[in-house]
Amino acid sequence: MLKNPSSKIGVLLLNLGTPDGTGFFSVRRYLKEFLSDPRVIEMPRWPWWLLLNLIVLNTRPQKSGALYKKIWDKDADESPLRLISSQQAKKLQARFGGQNVMVDFAMRYGNPSTASKLVAMKSAGCDRILLMPLYPQYSATTSASANDKAFAALASMRWQPAVRTLPPYYAHPAYIGALAENITGELEKLDFIPQKLILSYHGMPQSYIDKGDPYFEHCRVTTDLLAKELSLGSMGLGPNRITMAFQSRFGRQEWLKPYLDGVLEEMPKAGTKNIAIIAPAFSVDCLETLEELAMEGKERFLAAGGENFAYIRCLNDNEVGMGLIETLCRQEMQGWV
């Protein structure tokens, strides 16, 4: 294939999003964009518009803002999600050295916007762009929505770049290996031996699965493969010591089970007093991991009679995590680089 030697390849890391601050109006703007996405809330538009604008956006921002304050990086006045995502982009850029590759990151909701980054890449001479939604398990609410936003921006361009999208990597050997290495390394640092390792995935209404979303099956496969990989390691974490659960419920409808809060409350009653927990579906630590798991989850477990609780951070921008992202990136850019 003939290539223009002056052209560039763009790599855009995509994640969910974050408010710009912890104040009421910053959080409200973010929640309005997020909860207005029909991929996220699948219900008739007018009833949901009324509920969202008359109730949710008048009550939820204050509650969510208080939670964001608990994890906010006060020195940088920034959310961990955006800070770490920025570092991921910088470190991936460094791994490509002098190659004609431009790496950046964007958010599906909030800033930096996907559209602004695509325009910047095109203006910088990128005639080929790889979109990398960093969601290992596919869901219409995450992977599809991230691509929707990018395609909408591309639709406004008269001269579009060629585009590729990262497929779900829930069973990719590099992903399973990176998780296992990260988990083993962190468990070896603990001063107690966990009886159980909980793999906590973001929840989803059961109705979405019933309509054909493959997310639950992808989570199950990840759990099974990771259990097999960990059983071969020094920690001996076989399937009998690993539990899959789902967090972050919203609303009254039935969501994927088992619910994490119930698991955390029942384990001590059954004699499991020492646990570790990790969120395999998150590529970057954020509110749902740093507050909901590491803080609220720990409090719930200890209040139920637990004794030792450890939260294992996401892969983030550590060497193992960056190795995974680079592997996935180079695989999808074959023929371009």
Residue 289 maps to a domain = yes
> What CATH number is given to the structural domain containing 183?
3.40.50.1400
Residue 42, CA distances (Å) to 36, 176, 223, 281 in order: 10, 31, 27, 21
Token couple for 22:
């912890």
In the prediction, which pLDDT does 5 show? 54
Is the domain of 218 the same as that of 159?
Answer: no
Model confidence at 323, in pLDDT bands (50, 70, 90)? very high
pLDDT at 327 over 90: yes
Tell me 205's DSSP state: B
Secondary structure (H, E, C), 230-281: HHCCCCCCCHHHEEEEEECCCCCCCECCCEHHHHHHHHHHCCCCEEEEECCC
In the prediction, which pLDDT does 234 show? 64
pLDDT tens per residue, range 229-242: 998 766 677 778 99
Position 297, amino acid: G
pLDDT tens per residue, range 96-155: 987 799 999 999 999 999 999 999 999 999 999 999 999 999 999 999 999 999 999 999
Tell me which residue of 87, 164, 101 sits closest to 321, measured CA to CA. Answer: 87
Is the domain of 153 the same as that of 46?
Answer: yes
Q: Rounded to an integer, what distance in angstroms lies between the CA atom of residue 142 and that of residue 136?
A: 10
Structural domains of the chain, count:
2
In the prediction, which pLDDT does 6 show? 65
In the prediction, which pLDDT does 252 show? 85
In the prediction, which pLDDT does 98 show? 75
For the chain, the distance separating the N- and C-terminal CA atoms, rounded to the nearest angstrom, is 11
Cis peptide before 112 (omega within 30 of 0): yes
Q: Rounded to an integer, what distance in angstroms lies between the CA atom of residue 296 and that of residue 281?
A: 19
In the prediction, which pLDDT does 266 show? 98
pLDDT at 324 over 50: yes
Is the domain of 151 the same as that of 187?
Answer: no
pLDDT at 10 over 90: yes
Q: Is the pTM of this model over 0.85?
A: yes
Percent of the chain with pLDDT over 90: 93
pLDDT tens per residue, range 51-86: 999 999 999 999 999 999 999 999 999 999 999 999
Is the domain of 253 the same as that of 132?
Answer: no
Residue 198 maps to a domain = yes
Is the domain of 187 the same as that of 146?
Answer: no
pLDDT at 88 over 50: yes
Is the domain of 264 the same as that of 138?
Answer: no
Model confidence at 1, in pLDDT bands (50, 70, 90)? very low
pLDDT tens per residue, range 151-204: 999 999 999 999 999 999 999 999 999 999 999 999 999 999 999 999 999 999
Listing DSSP states for 57-104 in one string gives: HHHHHHHHHHHHHHH-BTTTTB-HHHHHHHHHHHHHHHHTTTSSEEEE
Beta bridge partners of 202: 247
Residue 1 maps to a domain = no
Is the domain of 177 the same as that of 273?
Answer: yes
Determine the structural domain holding residue 79 and report its residue range.
Answer: 8-169+319-332
Is the domain of 146 the same as that of 17?
Answer: yes
Region 24-34: mean pLDDT is 97
Residue 306 maps to a domain = yes
pLDDT tens per residue, range 235-264: 677 778 999 999 999 888 999 999 999 999
Is the domain of 142 the same as that of 199?
Answer: no
Residue 203 maps to a domain = yes
Residue 2 maps to a domain = no
pLDDT at 9 over 90: yes
125: left (phi over 0), alpha (psi -120 to 50) or beta: left
Return mean pLDDT, the chain: 95
Q: Is the dihedral of CA 182, 242, 278, 186 positive or negative?
A: negative
